[in-house]
Amino acid sequence: MKPTVYILAGGLGTRLAHVVGDVPKPMAPVAGKPFLEWQIAWLARQGFDDIVLMVGHRREAIMDHFGDGSGFSVTIRYAVERELLGTGGAVQAALREHPCECFVILNGDTFFDVDLVWLTEYMLASVPEDAVCLALKYREDTKRYGNVTVDGRWQVRGFVEKAGDLADGYINGGIYVGRPAALADAGSGRMSMETEIFPRLVQGGRLFGVPFGGRFIDIGIPEDYAFANRTLPDWFSADRRPALFLDRDGVLIEDTGYVCNPDAVVFRDDVLTMLAESLAGAGTDLVIVSNQAGIAKGKMSPADAEAVNARVVARMRELGLEVAGVWYCPYHESGSVPEWTRASLQRKPEPGMILLAADALGLDVGRSLMVGDKESDRINLPYLATHILAGRYPVEDADPTVEGMRRAIEERGLGG
């Protein structure tokens, strides 16, 4: 089932008035071409070529530029908003004028580089027919946005309003996929997706959300608009690479408790040797992701953890293994150091560290592999494969051999 993409392209751009002038916000120039053109090129690259632009404010600028879409390798139709309908009302009107079997809805002023094919297939296979699935973005600080809370089945449980004490969490990434049945009871007229339709879906258990680590930008404020001009071309042209995510303690080094002294590190030479052989010439990004609750519990400092990490990276470099990045989580709910004592989506099995790495390094998590030695290393992401190497912790179906780890790397296409 091939979806139709509906783009909310009628934004006024009040905070970008000095930039957009007499055109809608999605037409604001970014690196020499309208922002909306970047979105459409991204859709075409993923094979989404049936597009409905929901236009209203100064719509002629959009319609004259894109026409029927033939110059951009897509087919474009228009749903004209002749009175203010809000985001929800505009979507409802567009679906009535241009019906579909499956929809993708995008905000016309955001760019979020997710695997839209995977998200659509996941929605069709895994959520009810009358539900919508959102693409969520992980942020270490959600004060500006508020956040979206989800449970272990990726069902959205609620929305937290913007507040000064919000820490990390998921935000709405501006991408929604579903079937028309999901919005059939929303009514018509002026309404908002965010404040009227989504809360109704949450109440009925019909809203889901999956987090992604792709690059994200919202051009709605001047600082982010300037950031888009500096970064979007490079983001767009870069290839997203798979990675091998590696737990540290128990995989790369022996897990001897709270490892805080680099001179006391005992390396897993069997693993390191296998990695050097298996990954030679592969070009696979190696990323270390490690829970370090000892920081929250006062057993070590961040400097201690970083010194051990530096020792591990140096040893791997000696073997020809270049580490693309190291992420560690210092947080724990039961800590004794107030600065680090809290719940965090960075603590495995939550996916925060994976998503941060994917964003920073431009990684394709869906083609990647996580290797760990504990149940908590099974990361809560439906598209990330995991291999558990048997160690000091009892884990069902853990593999006792380093050769099994080698095979898992090869099966993911990550070896040389």
Confidence class for position 223, pLDDT limits 50, 70, 90: confident
Name the nearest CA neighbour of 415 among 406, 388, 361.
Answer: 406
Q: Which two tokens stand for residue 227?
A: 């950031």
Q: Which CATH number covers residue 101?
A: 3.90.550.10
Residue whose tokens read 């009892």: 394
* pLDDT higher than 60, residue 375: yes
For residue 49, tell me if it sits in a domain: yes
Chain-centroid distance, C-alpha 114? 7
Per the model's pLDDT, the better-predicted residue between 57 and 373 turns out to be 373
pLDDT at 18: 62
For residue 195, tell me if it sits in a domain: yes
pLDDT at 336: 96
For residue 107, tell me if it sits in a domain: yes
Average pLDDT over residues 183-205: 90
For residue 176, tell me if it sits in a domain: yes
* pLDDT higher than 60, residue 14: no
First to last CA, the chain: 36
Question: Could you tell me if 185 and 270 lie in one domain?
Answer: no
List the Cα angle 299/358/318 in 5-degree steps: 65
Domain closes at, from 237, 252, 285: 237
Rounded to an integer, what distance in angstroms lies between the CA atom of residue 250 and that of residue 407?
Answer: 19
pLDDT at 185: 84
Average pLDDT over residues 107-115: 94
What does the DSSP 8-state code read for residue 197?
I
Per the model's pLDDT, the better-predicted residue between 367 and 223 turns out to be 367
Provide long-range contacts, Cβ within 8 A and 24+ apart, for 321-324: 321/272, 321/275, 321/276, 321/279, 321/286, 322/286, 323/286, 323/287, 323/288, 324/243, 324/285, 324/286, 324/287, 324/357, 324/361
Average pLDDT over residues 221-245: 91
Average pLDDT over residues 265-290: 95
Catalytic residues: 247, 249
Number of H helices, E strands in the chain: 11, 18
Rounded to an integer, what distance in angstroms lies between the CA atom of residue 134 and that of residue 241?
Answer: 24
What phi and psi values does residue 60 have, to the nearest 5 degrees?
-60, -35
List b or e across 385-404, with b for residues whose CB sees 16 or more CB atoms inside 10 angstroms. bebbbebeeebeebbeebee
Average pLDDT over residues 299-310: 97
Question: Could you tell me if 198 and 225 lie in one domain?
Answer: yes
Rounded mean pLDDT of the chain?
93
* pLDDT higher than 90, residue 15: no
* pLDDT higher than 70, residue 12: no
Question: Could you tell me if 200 and 268 lie in one domain?
Answer: no
For residue 416, tell me if it sits in a domain: no
For residue 10, tell me if it sits in a domain: yes
List the strands of the sheet with 243-246, edge to edge: 323-329, 285-291, 243-246, 369-372, 385-388
Confidence class for position 160, pLDDT limits 50, 70, 90: confident
pLDDT at 60: 92
List the Cα angle 72/8/52 in 5-degree steps: 45
pLDDT at 20: 61
Question: Could you tell me if 268 and 298 lie in one domain?
Answer: yes
- For the chain, give percent helix, strand, coil, nearest 5: 35, 25, 40
pLDDT at 13: 53
Q: Which CATH number covers residue 354?
A: 3.40.50.1000
Q: What is the DSSP string of 250-275?
A: TTTB---SS---GGG--B-HHHHHHH
pLDDT at 283: 84
Average pLDDT over residues 189-204: 92
Q: Label residue 267 exposed, middle or buried (CB < 10 Å: 0-12, 13-18, 19+).
A: middle
Rounded to an integer, what distance in angstroms lies between the CA atom of residue 382 and that of residue 210?
Answer: 8
Q: Label residue 65 exposed, middle or buried (CB < 10 Å: 0-12, 13-18, 19+).
A: middle
Question: Could you tell me if 67 and 135 lie in one domain?
Answer: yes
Rounded to an integer, what distance in angstroms lies between the CA atom of residue 117 and that of residue 126?
Answer: 14
- Provide the domain count of the chain: 2
Residues above pLDDT 70, as percent of the chain: 97
Residues above pLDDT 90, as percent of the chain: 81
| Residue pLDDT, tens place only, 337-365 | 999 999 999 999 999 999 999 999 999 99
Residue whose tokens read 């110059």: 71
Question: Could you tell me if 9 and 115 lie in one domain?
Answer: yes
Question: Could you tell me if 30 and 130 lie in one domain?
Answer: yes
For residue 216, tell me if it sits in a domain: yes
Question: Could you tell me if 392 and 277 lie in one domain?
Answer: yes
Domain closes at, from 180, 214, 237: 237
Question: Could you tell me if 229 and 248 lie in one domain?
Answer: no
Contacts of 355 (CB under 8 A, 6+ apart): 138, 211, 212, 213, 365
* pLDDT higher than 60, residue 139: yes
Average pLDDT over residues 196-211: 96
Question: Could you tell me if 228 and 291 lie in one domain?
Answer: no
Domain closes at, from 170, 203, 237: 237
Look up the domain containing 297 and give its range. 243-411
Whether omega for the bond prior to residue 349 falls within 30 degrees of 0, making it cis, is yes
pLDDT at 206: 97
Question: Could you tell me if 262 and 228 lie in one domain?
Answer: no
For residue 290, tell me if it sits in a domain: yes
- Which segment of 110-114, 191-195, 259-263 scores lowest on mean pLDDT? 191-195
pLDDT at 16: 60
Confidence class for position 11, pLDDT limits 50, 70, 90: low
pLDDT at 309: 98
Question: Could you tell me if 24 and 149 lie in one domain?
Answer: yes
